[in-house]
Amino acid sequence: MSDSASNAPIVMVVDDQPSNIRFVERLLVDKGYRVRCFTMGRQALAAAAAEPPDLVLLDIGMPNMNGFEVCEQLKADATLRAVPVIFVSGHDEPEEKLRAFRAGGVDYVVKPYDGSELNARLTTHLTIKRLQGELEAQNAHLEDLVGVRTQELAEANRKLSLLDSAKSAFLQLIAHELRTPLNGILGVGELALLDLPDEENTRELRSMFGVSRERMLSVLNDAELLSEIELAGESFRLAAVSVDVALQQAIDVAADVFARRRVTLDVESNCDCFVQAEGELLRRALQALLTTAAKLSSLGARLTVRRKSEDGQAVVTVRTQGPTLPDKSLETLFEVLTGVHGVQDDDDLGLDPPVAYRIISLFGGAIRVANAGSDGVEMVLSLARVPAA
């Protein structure tokens, strides 16, 4: 038997009239089908269970077990349920057709046979069955792909959770374990500097020591704050806070950073908005955002700060003036161990970006960052507005 013949669809013909079987068998064999013929319903059921056919051509009026009963048993078998059944009958009454379809048939042919019509109906239903099989196979393949992808995402999420836990542990270590020994080192350093003569070199050392001391204490305080947000963020008491007031406080606190970098501010506020926040934390987030912007700007640059109300949100936009950031730096700017530096070699951003991001996230807001064309970076903070207290 050739490969094409062995792959041809199997049509099971069930009819108690041998003359009908011979006619249909010749017709179907000429059309290239493999044909299995039976005169009794029970024989057909047993053969179908052993080798499921692709389609069943089933006579209704058979003794012992009629076509309706045979079809119902086929549909009760999970392995044969999808096999299409075309009923054959010498009657054309609507009641019998309706019963055939209720039993699970897909079509109904009236004797005497018309060879062309019968072949067209078989071709149609075999094509439908093939397409359904292909669709089921494709769905199964897609389910497998989804399962694999789900496992990959679960593994990636597990690794991210481990990394986040490691960062949290690192912050706790900095916040709780290093403060005491660091205070001792800073105290000894201050005493050593006091004993040095008041000369230009000494004054330069004292200035360098002061800047380094400020940076280290700032990192400790920020690490402690991040740990507190991670472990007990829900304990902060929120209230309606004025964005303009918090922004002005942040500008005042960051004045030293602006002065060292000779940065000027262009601040514009359309209207005062209130957001649900904790006042000191909101001020700290805005300060961190402004300090980050200053360090990402060129010396003597002009920072643009805009505050507006938009679609029920209080939006604060800070735009730097200076170089843009690579895509990788934009993606990781608000991470704890970002590795992003400011314009100057000694401009370490510290924990300011993640502090701003975690605080605003705690209040249900968002921060996004993007390059502002070819001149600078734009950071946009948004929080839902609430009525004034």
Quick: pLDDT tens for 14-47.
999 998 899 999 999 998 999 999 999 999 999 9
Of 5-9, 131-135, 279-283, the one with minimum mean pLDDT is 5-9
In the chain, ranges of CATH 3.30.565.10 domains: 236-384
Residues 6+ apart with CB under 8 A from 47: 12, 36, 38
- Residue 366 bridge partners (DSSP): 382
Rounded to an integer, what distance in angstroms lies between the CA atom of residue 132 and that of residue 54? 12
Query: By C-alpha distance, which of 5, 3, 103, 119 is closest to 60?
Result: 103
Mean pLDDT value of segment 111-140: 89
Average pLDDT of every residue of the chain: 84
Nearest CA to 48 out of 14, 75, 80, 85 is that of 80
Percent of the residues in the chain that have a pLDDT greater than 70, as a whole number: 83
CATH of domain 236-384: 3.30.565.10
pLDDT value at residue 339: 63
Q: Which of 166, 129, 162, 145 is nearest to 54 (CA)?
A: 129
Query: Quick check: 386 pLDDT over 80?
Result: yes
Q: pLDDT tens digits for 65-112?
A: 999 999 999 999 999 999 999 999 988 899 999 999 999 999 999 988
- The pTM score is 0.51
CATH number of 3-135: 3.40.50.2300
CA 354 → CA 210, 289, 336, 349, 370, distances in Å?
A: 24, 10, 6, 10, 16
User: pLDDT class for 155, splitting at 50, 70, 90?
Assistant: confident
Q: Where in the chain is the domain with CATH 3.40.50.2300?
A: 3-135
